[in-house]
Amino acid sequence: MNRIIIKAATPDDCGDLFAWRNDLLTRQVSKNSGPVDWETHVAWFAAALASPDRSIYIGYSESKKIGSIRFDRTHDSQDALLVSIMIAPAERGRGNGKALLRSGIATLPDATLKAEIATENLASQRIFKACGFEQILDDGGGGFLRYRRVPDAPSGP
């Protein structure tokens, strides 16, 4: 199993997240599938780092950045966190997604987590299911499946 360490994102991570976010495959499975320009990204990233309702972490395998995991407070009845992962294009297909998600879950063992995953993103669906997420809603024609993980759900081997 891949060992991933996560660290809070810093302003120095802005360029990596910009490149990963604008990768064609990443865009194809994102709610906003268009490219993001640099100025928009920089403003979003600065606001994200300052927000008490959003946490962004960078995953490392040894000293190499492999992706990011983000938690957004939903302010719903469960006060859940919406989780999303993004794997650096060069790091896909190596088990990093599952390891990154498990590392993120370990930092929030008492949180109810939710995810919205594109119906065509089968790899992410497998990763989230393997980490204890259950599908709670179909896409209803919107193109995204909804998943939930309650505290103490098993996160797989």
Assess if residue 154 is contained within a domain.
no
> Quick one: what percent of the chain has pLDDT higher than 70?
93
Q: Identify the domain containing residue 142 by its residue range.
A: 5-149
Assess if residue 60 is contained within a domain.
yes
pLDDT band, residue 77 (cuts 50/70/90): low
CB within 8 Å of 59: residues ≥ 6 apart:
4, 5, 6, 65, 66, 67, 68, 69, 96, 99, 100, 103
Using CA atoms, how far residue 51 sits from 18, 40, 42, 135, in Å, is 18, 16, 14, 28
What mean pLDDT, rounded, does the chain reach? Answer: 91
Quickly count: other Cβ atoms within 10 Å of residue 113's Cβ.
Answer: 25
Give backbone dihedrals phi and psi of 28, rounded to 5 degrees, phi first: -65, -25
pTM: 0.90
Assess if residue 119 is contained within a domain.
yes
Assess if residue 156 is contained within a domain.
no
**Number of domains comprising the chain:** 1
Task: Calculate mean pLDDT across residues 73-81.
Answer: 80
Q: Helices (H), strands (E): how many in the chain?
A: 5, 7
Task: Calculate mean pLDDT across residues 6-17.
Answer: 97
**CATH classification of the domain holding 102:** 3.40.630.30
Q: What is the C-alpha separation between 42 and 117, in angstroms, rounded?
A: 25
Assess if residue 135 is contained within a domain.
yes
Cα-trace Rg, the chain: 15
Assess if residue 44 is contained within a domain.
yes
Assess if residue 157 is contained within a domain.
no
pLDDT at 149: 93
Assess if residue 70 is contained within a domain.
yes
